[in-house]
Structure 1
Amino acid sequence: MPDIIMPRLSDTMEDGVVSVWLKKVGDPIARGEIVAEIETDKALMELEAYDDGVLERIIAEAGVRVPIGEPIAVVGDGTTPVAAQSVPSTPAVSDLGSTTAVVETRRDEGVPRTQVVKASPLARKIARELDVDIDAVVGTGPGGRITKVDVQAAHSAGAVVTPAVPSGDVSVVAPSGDVSAVAPQEVPVSGDFEEVALTNIQRVSATRLTESKQQAPHFYVTIAIDVTELFAFRERINATLTAAGDGKVSVNDLLVKAVAVALAKNRAINVSFAGDKVLRHKGIHIGIAVATPVGLLVPVIRDADRLSVSEIATDSRDKATRARDRKLRAPEMSGGTFTISNLGMFGIEQFTAVINAPEAAILAVGAAADELRLDGDEVVVRKILRVTLSADHRAIDGAVAAQFLAQVKELLENPLRIVA
């Protein structure tokens, strides 16, 4: 019987979560038919059946995180009794988050010992609730990983309860397969609280953002831009588009175009650091950070320097909508060379953003606000927008970053140059 395995659905995917099964055990399926939805590190993806047949067994229930290449279901000819093929539990993950490897240091008769216990967070939680010694449980999951059912079976069999841990002993938790990246397992809290599992996207984002801050020496450059004329220019564009029955252009769309034009003039910003060299990208592909219910997604506007403002508006609006609906495909979120993060719609005036590796820079955009400025001897009210460039100092020098922001400022303060 052929297995349905967890496929690689993006270039950075290491595992996936079965979000929902669209077929149930006993259902006939056809090659190419959508049988499940898989949550990757970037989006919700559809999983197609590889073969014709009958879904005889579901190995990974909804909510389970499974490494790439591991089986998640079995397709047969329908002759195998379903009861004989059923699996009572999912082998890897729970509703509390990803599979973890726990490093425990205890003292037995004064002698410290360290061992690695592979168990899902739910299995460990149930072990604590049932007073089951997790060390005494035999795991039946992949690689000997302990599952919820393993803990329940051990409890039913009368497994030794968890011994009291003497004062001073330590329990720490690290991601599966990486016992060197140690972080506290028990977080001191007071009062009532609710445990909320990270989505796959949030989990991967947390890892990558941490790596970005740890590995890339960030520096920040901020500039104030008078966007009074830009707002008036946008009104004129939208009046024309509305008359033609087309969609409107946002300030962010104009900003994307301005950044793309500036990147085309200053390729030293459109780079990635690669150890002993810098990769200077030929294409200008701008990522737009979009907040979604499952975490931050970054759809990419490809070749933004070659697109008109209205084309950028259409593409950006479409991808942002589909990002929030979790309908983006992985290629639509890959290959970015520069990212823009805009929090102006929330009233945030200025902030710094973490670089979206392997890119070398990200632009944080705040809200435009009315400010008093001198125009000769006269005090006037102008709309001022502040943007902050976060740059990887390994790949970008301060003077280069300053020059780039000056170019962006020049374009936005003279908006006709954006479309010229």
Structure 2
Amino acid sequence: MTCSLRCHRPPTWSALSPCALITQQPGGKMYLGKPPQQMIPAGAKKFPLVNLDNSEEYLYAVFVEDSNDTGPVTFSFGSEVVGTQSPHTWYENSGYSSFIDSGTHGLQLPEDIFNKILHHVYDRIRHHDHSCKELWGDENLTTLKDSPWKLAVSGSQVKCAMDHVHDLAINVSGTDIVVSKSSFFYEWQPCSDLYMLSWYCSYSGGTGVVFGTAFFWGKNLLFDTSDLSSPYLYDLGPAEGCQKDFGQIPGNAITLTGAPGQALGRDGTIAAVVKVGTPPQELTVQLDTGSSMFFVANKECRKINNCFYVTFFNISETNLKVLTVSQEDFQKKRKGCQEQGLIVQHAMMRQSLVHCEDRSGETLLTCNCTSSQACLHAAVEAIQMHVTPGQVCGITRKACGEPVDFLPSLSSSFQPLQAPSYKFVHPPQDQQLQVTCQHECP
């Protein structure tokens, strides 16, 4: 079941300053535009950015000059150096590149560096802190060392362990990129008193660093892409309650939200409310610096499997626009999928913007369109109105999405960039998580 649509975010004179609080309930402010130079603190750290794939995805990493005169990128956990990388490895690594992505949870590190950090914490608890060792027990300490992704400990265990956790400082061209130690653990579910690790190693064994939500934790940051040929990241300093307005036009801050304990978690996200279209319609969307898109998803995505694919083709030789809906054999075997395939097939046949014909086999139907927007509008409306009717919301694969209504036909300026995406092709880990939106613990 494809449940999300992707909308293009134009790379105009954009600059934004997210301020993320250090609390179990994700919050803060996002200030729009570039503030006057006198507003930037004298002690702010300034990092040049580079667009890794040199495309409209705008996937940014901190720039390091790859030359013989440039020193290595150095990783320090407290006073201990836990690893180094050459500038070349910083970019051209196996697995993932090193980039800044508020749409990724926590902090992803190279396996060797992550293991040294774990060994440090393990060693300090086991051999230097008897009371914490007794509180953790042998089983949890072994899990920390050998299977950290399985670790689940209590708040009291986290409290004593934090005496041995440090900020991670990554020195790039003489300036430290700092990830706060307070982001090391996160509460698995609101009010559960079960904590897991927010920092983790690359699943593919790569050497890349992904600066996810843990990097934003407790900071004021400024992403300045007003000049796309020379973008910069500023670390403006601690959040300090997000009281200082860094917006180009003061008083226009956007509130950041999220489910308690979940911004750092495996499905964690920082969210914001924006208005899209003409006339404007209000949406809760993911604050995602790792993409030039934002996602709007139906809340039922948490409960269903992927049942069909929507694919758009632009045949340049004939200038023909074609959209297909297909369903593979493995999808047809899933509960309810054949019914959903028939529903979207019939819904597309009734769309006035396209001319569709039934097909047999894996391709359910093929539609010819007068324009790419006609194809995409028809697919979005058919799926939303007939397959997943009702509320549309942002970030509903998280613990608690904020429902909104959004109908493309009501916003004449709405132009989806792509067909509905496959972001929810696999059910999320928190599929069955039940959380009330007020998040008040007993």
- TM class, shorter-length: under 0.3
Higher Rg: 1
| Structure of greater relative contact order (alpha carbons < 8 Å, 6+ residues apart) | 2
Greater helix fraction, Structure 1 or Structure 2: 1
Using structure 2 for the length normalisation, give the TM-score.
0.25
